[in-house]
A and B are shown apart, each in its own frame.
Chain A
Amino acid sequence: MKATREAYGETLVELGRERPEIVVLDADLSSSTMTSKFAKEFPERFFNFGIAEANMMGAAAGLARSGKVPFASTFAVFASGRAYDQVRQSIAYPGFNVKITASHGGLTVGPDGASHQALEDIALMRVIPGMTVIVPADAEETRQVVRWAAAHDGPVYIRLGRSPVPDVFPQGAPIQPGKASIVKDAKGRGFEAMGPAGTRDGLDADVAILANGIMVSKCLEAWEILAAEGITSVVVDVAFVKPLDEKTLLELADRCGAFVTAEEHSVIGGLGGAVTEFLSENRPCPVVRVGVRDKFGQSGTPEELLTEYGLTAEKVAQAARKALSLKRPDLRTRM
């Protein structure tokens, strides 16, 4: 168990040691976003902009234009909402190489309440042309996507969480950033078996469950619930909401013919939105979305909130049953 923001803070320090052009910006939340670790080791390459997110994003753009690789961090709700116009106009429109790494995404911020719970950030970032949008599931995936982002040329939005999350990937797992990762196939085999060289026969299942962030581990629990009922499923980590791994989606559409998406975000515009948009144009089949149903959050413990808003293993299993019931066998047999 480790929070993704912790892994981010550690990885930034490693990157800082390796690459002098890495600079880090924060807006008075460095002890929460964990950029404070970098600040401590590289004070001359760390810039605190105070409570002024708009200016921080603009300065990040200027640093990127001057050859630096800036990581700009604050809470997801501020990075995507407060500074939206700066992200759009100053960073993404000219295609500057800024990494927006936003922590405290979603409901699991907990007691701070709705003002601090970003449930729209993925939708806001995904709609910006050229923006890569990543929601890693655990500490290991965070380490790998942060490294990927540092090497990638172009704007990236990475969404991290406040609370510790169970490990989905073993340390050093051969994750291929940008590609969906099969974390559990229909035969119950984990990521190792399904790595790049893994077999694909476990992908034939009743339903494919796509998730990112904290919902990946919830979906692994849902796999067990469904298996006990005789329903086979494949759990897939789709950390890259944009660009989507379309090839894997098409393969799963052919092999499973029904989908569930699960995310700690509004059902509008995030992973569920991206998947339904893509499939409806390319391989129409039922997709049932698990996420927050067009509501603001509220104060509570992470677990209370996840239950209240339907982000549980049982709700994922329920969605899977619905997806199965929507699958039309008459069409399936003709494919």
Chain B
Amino acid sequence: MGQDGKCESIRQTQRSEKAEEIRRVCREVRKNVVAMIGAAGSGHPGGSLSCVEIVSTLYFGVMRVNPEDPNWPDRDRFILSKGHAAPTLYAVLAEKGFFPKELLPTLRKFGSPLQGHPDAKKTPGVEVSTGSLGQGLSMAVGMALAGKLDRRGYRVWALLGDGECQEGQVWEAAMAASHYKLDNLAAFIDFNGLQIDGRVEEIMNPSPLADKWRAFGWCVLEVDGHDVDALLEAASCASESRGAPTAIIAKTVKGKGVSFMEGQREWHGKAPTGEELSRALEEVGRA
């Protein structure tokens, strides 16, 4: 018992150190996301800021990847199905060392590898090309099937938007994932409650989301999507799932970290300019 207790406390210490490191990454990523979108003059700050903790936690606390060898066959895979959050993915990949951070300010500019939405051909570490909502989970299903077929131990992580769950293809993929018992697959739902035209529940209510995923044969976890410890715990739980994929519904705040963007739908697809940008940078820098 004594020995077990010791191991447990070491694990907890390691985990809290890991969480601290991830929170540091999140601060960097948030700053970069705001700066990139500001420099680009267009983009999607709201949904990029809502998923900073999710993506950072995966890359810095969960996934095995090798920035030196982005196509390493045994790597864990991340699919950003909500492709408009590309700035967050780019900032995390740069932080992880897939490409130099100096590229970040080229976001959305002519000739840049950092396209408005992820382009697997142009950016190291980007697995697939996304941007047309609803398609990422299907590709994740294909990757998870290949992993099973090849008996490789990698895991596939997808990130979907809550509004994105209005797309029918998401549910086709959900059905297939449980049909093929893809326990090497997990999907985060960035539940920030807003989409371009308004509140998700007013535009086309996807709730009750947890019940829907459960009904499609998935294990379901619900977490605070900005709580790194909770996200680590959820990912670890998903990794232990046997016989079924896991959906992690992460409650988030759209525009998280910039007071005047938080919970405001007009910041879905608008870049901050001038005074707004300075304020936003100041707020995320202070955090």
- Using a CB–CB cutoff of 8 Å, the interface residues on chain A facing chain B are 23, 44-45, 47, 49-50, 52, 54-68, 70, 85-86, 89-90, 93-95
Which of A23, A55, A64, A95 contacts B138, CB < 8 Å?
Answer: A55
Are B176 and A66 closer than 8 Å at their CB atoms? no
Binding-face segment, B24-32, B50-58, B126-134, B255-263: B126-134
Contact with A along B141-179 (1 / 0, CB 8 A): 111111101100000000000000000110011011001
Are A62 and B146 closer than 8 Å at their CB atoms? yes
Given known contacts A62-B140, A89-B131, what 13 new A-B pairs fall within 8 Å (CB)?
A: A50-B175, A52-B176, A54-B134, A54-B168, A57-B138, A58-B138, A59-B138, A59-B141, A62-B139, A62-B144, A67-B73, A90-B128, A93-B129
Are B145 and A94 closer than 8 Å at their CB atoms? no
Are A94 and B138 closer than 8 Å at their CB atoms? no
Decide yes or no whether B252 CB sits under 8 A from chain A.
Answer: no
Give the distance in Å from the alpha carbon of A61 to the alpha carbon of B169 in the complex.
14
Give the distance in Å from the alpha carbon of A67 to the alpha carbon of B77 in the complex.
14
Give the distance in Å from the alpha carbon of A57 to the alpha carbon of B169 in the complex.
11
**Interface-central residue, A62, A93, A95, by most chain B CB under 10 Å:** A62
Which of B119, B134, B137, B144 contacts A94, CB < 8 Å?
Answer: B119
List 16 A–B pairs whose Cβ atoms lie within 8 Å, in order of A's numbering. Answer: A44-B149, A49-B176, A54-B168, A55-B173, A58-B137, A62-B128, A62-B144, A62-B146, A66-B150, A67-B150, A89-B129, A89-B130, A89-B131, A90-B128, A93-B119, A94-B121
Chain B interface SS verdict (over half): helix
A-B pairs, 10 with minimum CB distance: A62-B142, A58-B138, A66-B146, A55-B172, A59-B142, A52-B172, A62-B139, A94-B120, A63-B142, A62-B143
Decide yes or no whether B135 CB sits under 8 A from chain A.
Answer: yes
Are A65 and B142 closer than 8 Å at their CB atoms? yes
Are A52 and B175 closer than 8 Å at their CB atoms? yes
Least distance between B130 CB and chain A CB atoms (Å):
8
- On chain A, the residues within 8 Å of B131 by CB distance are 89
Decide yes or no whether B180 CB sits under 8 A from chain A.
Answer: yes
> What number of A-B contacts does a CB cutoff of 8 Å give?
106
Give the distance in Å from the alpha carbon of A50 to the alpha carbon of B180 in the complex.
12
Chain A interface SS verdict (over half): helix
Which of B134, B145, B175 contacts A62, CB < 8 Å?
Answer: B145
- On chain A, the residues within 8 Å of B128 by CB distance are 61-62, 65, 90, 94
Least distance between A266 CB and chain B CB atoms (Å):
26
Are A63 and B143 closer than 8 Å at their CB atoms? yes
Are B139 and A90 closer than 8 Å at their CB atoms? yes
- On chain B, the residues within 8 Å of A66 by CB distance are 142-143, 146-147, 150
Are B139 and A61 closer than 8 Å at their CB atoms? yes
Are B143 and A47 closer than 8 Å at their CB atoms? no
- On chain A, the residues within 8 Å of B120 by CB distance are 65, 94
Are A58 and B145 closer than 8 Å at their CB atoms? no
In the complex, which residue of chain A has the Cβ closest to the Cβ of B118?
A: A94
- On chain B, the residues within 8 Å of A56 by CB distance are 138
Give the distance in Å from the alpha carbon of A55 to the alpha carbon of B144 in the complex.
14
- On chain B, the residues within 8 Å of A45 by CB distance are 149
- On chain A, the residues within 8 Å of B135 by CB distance are 54, 58, 85-86, 89-90
Give the distance in Å from the alpha carbon of A63 to the alpha carbon of B128 in the complex.
11
Which of A47, A52, A65 contacts B139, CB < 8 Å?
Answer: A65
- On chain A, the residues within 8 Å of B176 by CB distance are 49-50, 52, 55, 59
Give the distance in Å from the alpha carbon of A120 to the alpha carbon of B251 in the complex.
44
- Within 106-122 of B, Cβ neighbours of A (below 8 Å) are at 119-121
In the complex, which residue of chain A has the Cβ closest to the Cβ of B121?
A: A94
Are A58 and B121 closer than 8 Å at their CB atoms? no
Give the distance in Å from the alpha carbon of A50 to the alpha carbon of B179 in the complex.
10
Least distance between B187 CB and chain A CB atoms (Å):
13
Give the distance in Å from the alpha carbon of A57 to the alpha carbon of B142 in the complex.
9
In the complex, which residue of chain B has the Cβ closest to the Cβ of A63?
A: B142
Are B142 and A60 closer than 8 Å at their CB atoms? yes
**Interface-central residue, B136, B143, B144, by most chain A CB under 10 Å:** B143
- On chain B, the residues within 8 Å of A68 by CB distance are 146, 149
Are B139 and A58 closer than 8 Å at their CB atoms? yes
Give the distance in Å from the alpha carbon of A95 to the alpha carbon of B150 in the complex.
22
Give the distance in Å from the alpha carbon of A45 to the alpha carbon of B150 in the complex.
11
Are B138 and A86 closer than 8 Å at their CB atoms? yes
